[in-house]
Amino acid sequence: MTRFIDLTLNGISTGTVYAAVALALVLIWRSTRIVNFAQGGMLMFTTFIASAVINSGASYWVGFVVALLSGLVLGALVERLLIRRVAGAPPLNAVIVTLGLLILLEAVAGMIWGNTPRSFPPAFSIRGYDVGGTRVLFAPNDTFIVLVVIGVAALLGALFRGTALGLRMRASAFAPEVARLLGVRVGRMLTVGWALAALVGSLAGVLVAPSVFVGPNQFDPILVFGFTAAVLGGLDSPYGAAVGGVILGLALSYVSGYEGASLVTLAALVILLAVLMVRPGGLFSTTRERRV
């Protein structure tokens, strides 16, 4: 029973990170109908930047903020310099561009920082809480992870629901042509959208880095998990992404704990395939038709 509780707690913590990656993917998908395969590479790159900052002697928090800011900038640059060029082209072009960017970022990171994974400090202690004499698999750092992801998601929600910028962004995502006729600078909104999504991605990067280490390919599984979580939640829905992330975190934690860690990636792929076959609109899809 304690094992089950441990695995559940652990699943919640990793699940919130998957939720953050899923959220980054959903924000892009909603506004551009592009699956950003480069997201894993982008968050890898910004985590490397944070790592370099921290290794140069700055505090963890400086590295943390630098990661988020560089995510913001990287996201905006990617949209301006690459994605804008494939807008309106067949979807395959965007797929190839994002995959190409992934490979490019991994190569450049390897050239700058080397291919040997390096450690990354956690924000807080990773010694599990002591509950009634037993140490549970949930530490102050996990509390931080859960709270900061919830906090950022809530901020984003408030931005989208409660501000004029958010209204413009949603209008641009749902009906770009109508938005333009109403005077919304849709191109600018897309840039902001990519910047925000990449910020959420880089948050996930620094949060997960202590457990996966930082290396050019260390974050590839995170992208798969984030994508699976996003599909679980329905790709179009930020709430779905959040819930999908936690469900996936729990499922993979149980698989890892009861069946062995080597099966985790396979399990994620099985879940992904199962959802795509049985409920391609996501677990929470209603019968409402999907906009394509």
Query: Using CB under 8 A as the criterion, which residues of the chain lie in contact with another protein when the complex forms?
Result: 164, 167-168, 170-171, 174-175, 177-186
Whether the CB-CB separation of 219 and 21 falls below 8 Å is answered with no
**Tokens standing for 138?**
């949930």
Closest to 160 (Cα-Cα) out of 171, 148, 176: 171
Closer of 226 and 281 to another protein (Cβ):
281
C-alpha–C-alpha distance, residues 46 and 21, integer Å: 14
Q: To the nearest whole angstrom, how small is the minimum distance from the Cβ of residue 231 to another protein? A: 20
Closer of 135 and 161 to another protein (Cβ):
161
Give the side-chain half-sphere CA count within 13 A for 197.
34
Q: To the nearest whole angstrom, how small is the minimum distance from the Cβ of residue 278 to another protein? A: 26
Closer of 164 and 292 to another protein (Cβ):
164
Residues ≥6 apart with Cβ < 8 Å to 264: 221, 252, 255, 256
Closer of 122 and 176 to another protein (Cβ):
176
Q: To the nearest whole angstrom, how small is the minimum distance from the Cβ of residue 170 to another protein? A: 7
Q: To the nearest whole angstrom, how small is the minimum distance from the Cβ of residue 92 to another protein? A: 23
**From the DSSP assignment, how many helices (H) and strands (E) are in the chain?**
12, 2
C-alpha–C-alpha distance, residues 169 and 31, integer Å: 8
Sign for the pseudo-dihedral over CA of 152, 153, 156, 157:
negative
One-letter amino acid for residue 144 of the chain:
F
Q: To the nearest whole angstrom, how small is the minimum distance from the Cβ of residue 99 to another protein? A: 30
**Tokens standing for 254?**
């149980």
Q: To the nearest whole angstrom, how small is the minimum distance from the Cβ of residue 230 to another protein? A: 18
Q: To the nearest whole angstrom, how small is the minimum distance from the Cβ of residue 123 to another protein? A: 36
Sign for the pseudo-dihedral over CA of 222, 81, 149, 60:
positive
Biggest distance spanned by C-alpha atoms of the chain: 64
Closer of 57 and 183 to another protein (Cβ):
183
Whether the CB-CB separation of 200 and 210 falls below 8 Å is answered with no
Closer of 112 and 165 to another protein (Cβ):
165
Closer of 167 and 270 to another protein (Cβ):
167
C-alpha–C-alpha distance, residues 63 and 190, integer Å: 27
Closer of 142 and 236 to another protein (Cβ):
236
Q: To the nearest whole angstrom, how small is the minimum distance from the Cβ of residue 167 to another protein? A: 6
C-alpha–C-alpha distance, residues 157 and 237, integer Å: 12
